[in-house]
Structure 1
Amino acid sequence: MRLHRNLCFAVIDGLHQIFNEDEYADKVIQTLLKRDKRWGSRDRAFVAETTYDIVRWKRLYAEIAEVKEPFNRDNLWRLFAVWATLKGIKLPDWKYFTNTPTRKIKGKFDELSKIRKFRESIPDWIDEIGSKELGEDTWTKELAIQNKQADVILRTNILKTTKEQLQNILFDEGIETEFIKGYPLALKLKERANVFVTNAFKDGLFEVQDASSQLVAEMLDVKPGIKVVDTCAGAGGKTLHMASLMENKGQIIAMDIYESKLKKLKVRARRNGVHNIDLKVIESTKPIKKLYNKADRVLIDAPCSGLGVLRRNPDAKWKLEPQFLDQIRSIQQDILQQYSKMVKSGGKLVYATCSVLPSENENQINAFLESEAGKAFTFVEDKKVLAHKSGYDGFYMALLEKH
């Protein structure tokens, strides 16, 4: 592979924004990819994948390169040199790579690879919590897969097409997919591709949604004509899934504290042909209290650490802080206490997170069931999805039923 100066500069600029200006990697990369209209798909893939790669392995590469944060531009070029050397890419004769110790880099990589926190490039405190909560063996396996690139998974919009039809339509657009056993609406791409430029996407025939995430709406057992509240809807991946399972009949109230996310859901709903969703911004407790004992189904897709989806958001591990984890556990329990009151007698509640830590998952459900509000519910089942076992995102979901 030959390195091109303008592409490498884009990567360095992106790393500066992510590491030094605390910007989110996905947003930075979206902006970078619009930088030069002459770039082809291979150029854009290089910028995106290289940036993500260096973000993912920041701790390991920084240790090898002997640089510390905040990184100046020379430091960032040293991280880049480590990345290129370990990928077997010949470094060009540029001033940034003068005196790069290629042999020393490989030797140091071999040495550090024996220590998990460096090998998997994870902060000490996350490594300690993961090991304590999941056990050494499970955590080691989970961390390893979280550093591998995630598959692209699509969810068929059954309001407009079938999985088989979608597969054929995508094939005609040059994208090959395969079915996944146990996931009725999922298609997995055989090779990575930009699916957002396809006519199938523009026509609302599918959404990009990981296989594990697709299990949540299935567990809630929604039916046409019922009233559902999605309490932490965000941009609405699960909301849209439920709408399609309900055949556009009944009502879904999609709530979130961020109006900007609900605006994205509105756009997505239009593209999906969904029209049974009402959007509500949570600005006070009033909209929640108005729904007490009114919903047949309630979904709490709770805010969490995101430790089950690090391979999609590798910068999250550098942005997380111990105090955030303490706060989020408190918020999760508070949400369970308040939002569970929306479920009417005989109704169902699903609590879900994209974390693999029991303290955010089954421990929260147990604490809720032992509380006054939880006494009105019966535990039905839960699913703990580990990425190293399933091959998809780490997730947790629990189904409760109100007496």
Structure 2
Amino acid sequence: MKNSREICADILYKVFNQNSYSNIVLKNELNKCDLNSNDKGLITEIVYGTIKYKYTIDIILNSFIKNGINKIDEYILNILRMSVYQIKYLDKIPNFAVVNEAVELTKKKKSIGASKLVNGVLRNYLRNLDKKYYNDKNLVEALCFNYSFDKWLVKLFINQYGQEIAERILSGLNKRPAVTVRVNALKVSYDEAYNKLVEDGYNVEEGYVCPEAIVINKGKSIELNPLFKEGLVTVQDESAMLVAPSMDLKDNMNVLDLCSAPGGKTTHISEVMNNTGKVRAFDIYDNKLKLVKSNARRLGIKNLACEKMDASILNENLKESADAVLIDVPCSGIGIIRKKPEIKYTKNLKGLNELVEIQRKILINASTYVKPNGTLLYSTCTLNKKENEDNIRWFLKNNPQYSIEPLYYGKLDNFIYTEEGCVTILPNEYMDGFFITKLKRQW
């Protein structure tokens, strides 16, 4: 049977070397293994921590490996990475235990010779814990090392937000995300759901900003709880939870969600409309639409229909058909690094720029589907202004029939309200980085 360190190494190999999604691989591996909750918690901590701090860890390892990390066997490299993470960032595991575990795992998976290399590298690191790995007079180098982000991303944040906010973003993206659930008012009251979670042994608190949110600080997987299984609550970040209530929704409206999967915002729209009217959920992939349907069934949603469609291609049949349209457009996802830390290493500047063209096509198409006096809600889970404010300015310049209707969620230190009325949400322990703009069609 695999022990916790072997499971960690296997997961890291799949994420770093096979381009798997950390949240999916971790969930699958934890479901398969027969370990107690403490061991599963440690695996989660080591996996996410190692991915989160990979940039910094690789700099450290490069200084102790003669030919650099690129010459090392990939599996062994991941054993070294997770070991350095434990030594540098975790206080609860003695350093000698970390080294011993790494050596034994390398013997088991590779060879005695490889285990000697692992032992030598880690012991050399332990003898040099105070070593400097960057030029502390260089702001970018310091931020890259201390927060473990590639230079291009650190420079992007500094150029777009300035040094102070850029550092807040970097810090926020490294926060451990809380598990937040949205109470389904179609099935249960907020107080009933809250009290039931307390009865079931969860440590909970009211949401940071959303009235339907409950933050779960501690407790077993909520997806195994009857409240989730029976559709009384659903997991959703509070940033995403702001979208549906911002759309001026009323009972019996016709609403389109053009990029709906996996259905969190879509089903929230249905809940806000009290299961009345018609919500049409579109996505480009059939398998993703299955997720939307599954979520809708669990939550008791009756007014939702799923249809396959590429939102970047104009659908003449939808012109001026909707009272409100949501476009949570495909984006770089930089704002959700807290939950998917591998995004730090799977994105690049070229890829970000290529997304803008798709986003603008969707924005233009969606604008034709809105009835006069209707609402178009644009949202992303990125903090790249080229995908956010720049797209909105471009759109308004070419579409005078639309104007921004400013949104206000309260005076919170992680909310930035632009003069035009756009909202950027900076990441913190409660919320993902996010962007929301509400557009009104005048004629």
Residue 397 of structure 1 pairs with residue 422 of structure 2: no
Q: Which residue of 2 aligns with 1:161?
A: 188
Q: Output aligned runs, 1:114-193, within 5 Å.
A: 115-180=142-207, 182-191=209-218, 193=220
Query: For residues 313 and 163 of structure 2, what CA distance do their matches in structure 1 show?
Result: 45
| 1:46 maps onto 2:42 in alignment | yes
Does the aligned pair in 2 maintain the 1:142–1:387 contact within 8 Å?
Answer: yes
Cα distance, 1:337 vs structure 2:
0.8
Q: CA deviation at 1:56?
A: 0.6
**For 1:333-348, what aligned pairs fall within 5 Å after superposition?**
333-348=360-375
CA distance in structure 2 between the aligned counterparts of 1:182 and 1:130, rounded to whole angstroms: 25
Correspondence for 1:78: 80
TM-score (norm. length: structure 2): 0.85
Aligned residue for 2:69, secondary structure, equals: coil
Alpha-carbon offset, residue 119 of structure 1: 1.2
Give, as a single letter, the amino acid of the residue that structure 2 aligns with 1:78: L
Q: Is the 8 A contact 1:225 1:251 kept in 2?
A: yes
**Any stretches of 5+ residues in structure 1 without a counterpart?**
none
Q: 1:172: how far off?
A: 1.7
**1:317 has 2:357 as partner:** no
CA offset at residue 211 of structure 1? 1.0
Is 1:267 matched up with 2:294? yes
Structure 2 vs 1, CA of residues 286 and 51 (structure 1 numbering), >3 Å: closer, same or farther?
closer
Alignment of 1:275-314 (within 5 A): 275-283=302-310, 288-314=315-341
Cα shift at 1:391: 4.3
What is the one-letter code of the residue matched to 1:394? G
Instruction: Give the corresponding residue for 1:59.
Output: 55
Give the direction of change, closer, same or farther, for the CA distance of 1:345–1:23 in structure 2 (3 Å limit). Answer: same
Give the Cα separation in 2 of the matches to 1:284 and 1:181: 32
Structure-1 separation of matches of 2:311 and 2:152: 34
Structure 1 residues 26-79: Cα deviation after superposition (integer angstroms, max 9, x where no partner): 12112211332x212222222222111101100101111225347522222211
Deviations 1:286-337 (CA, angstroms, capped at 9, x unpaired) = 8832111010000010111111111111001111122210111111111111
Letter of the 1:13 counterpart: D
Separation in structure 2 between the aligned mates of residue 228 and residue 137 of structure 1, nearest angstrom: 40
Secondary structure in 1 matching 2:327: strand
CA distance in 1, matches of 2:135, 2:27: 32
RMSD, aligned CA: 2.1
Which amino acid letter does the alignment assign opposite residue 203 of structure 1? E
How many Å separate the matches in 2 of 1:324 and 1:284? 19
Q: Is residue 2:119 matched to residue 1:98?
A: yes
Give the SS at the match of 1:358. coil
Amino acid at match of 2:228: F
Q: Once the two structures are aligned, what percentage of the paired residues are identical?
A: 28
Q: Which letter does structure 1 place at the counterpart of 2:25?
A: V
CA positional deviation for 1:283 = 4.9
The DSSP-based 3-state class of the residue aligned with 1:387 is coil
Are 2:203 and 2:219, in contact at CA under 8 Å, matched by a contact in 1?
no
Q: Take 1:110 and 1:165, find their aligned partners in 2: how far apart are those partners? A: 53
Q: Aligned pair 1:376/2:401, yes or no?
A: yes
Aligned residues: 396
When residues 230 and 105 of structure 1 are mapped into structure 2, their CA distance, relative to the original with a 3 A threshold, is farther
CA contact (8 A) 2:173 2:337 kept: yes
C-alpha deviation, 1:212, in angstroms: 1.1
Q: In 2, Cα distance between the equivalents of 1:252 and 1:380?
A: 22
Q: Tell me: CA distance 1:26–1:109, structure 2 relative to 1, closer, same or farther (3 Å).
A: farther
Q: Deviations over 1:182-237 (max 9, x none)?
A: 41101111325411110111110111111111111111121110000001101100
Which AA in structure 2 matches 1:376?
Q
Alignment partner of 1:212 out of 219, 239, 242? 239
TM-fit CA distance, 1:102: 4.5
C-alpha deviation, 1:285, in angstroms:
7.3
Question: Is contact 1:352-1:397 (8 Å) kept?
Answer: yes
- Counterparts of 2:358 and 2:200 in 1: how far apart (Å)? 44
Quick one: which amino acid aligns to residue 24 of structure 1?
A: Y
Residues of 2 paired with 1:110 and 1:199: CA distance?
49
Q: Is 1:358 the equivalent of 2:385?
A: yes
Secondary structure in structure 2 of the residue aligned to 1:232: coil
Tell me, yes or no, if structure 1 residue 21 matches structure 2 residue 18.
Answer: yes
1:35 and 2:35 aligned: no
> Secondary structure, in 3 states, of the residue corresponding to 1:275?
coil
Q: Report the Cα distance in structure 2 between the residues aligned to 1:340 and 1:71, rounded to whole angstroms.
A: 51
Contact preservation (8 Å) 1:112, 1:119: no
**Contact conserved, 2:259 with 2:311, CA < 8 A, in 1?**
no
Rounded to whole Å, the distance in 2 between the matches of 1:181 and 1:54 is 28
Among candidates 410, 415, 426, match of residue 386 of structure 1: 426
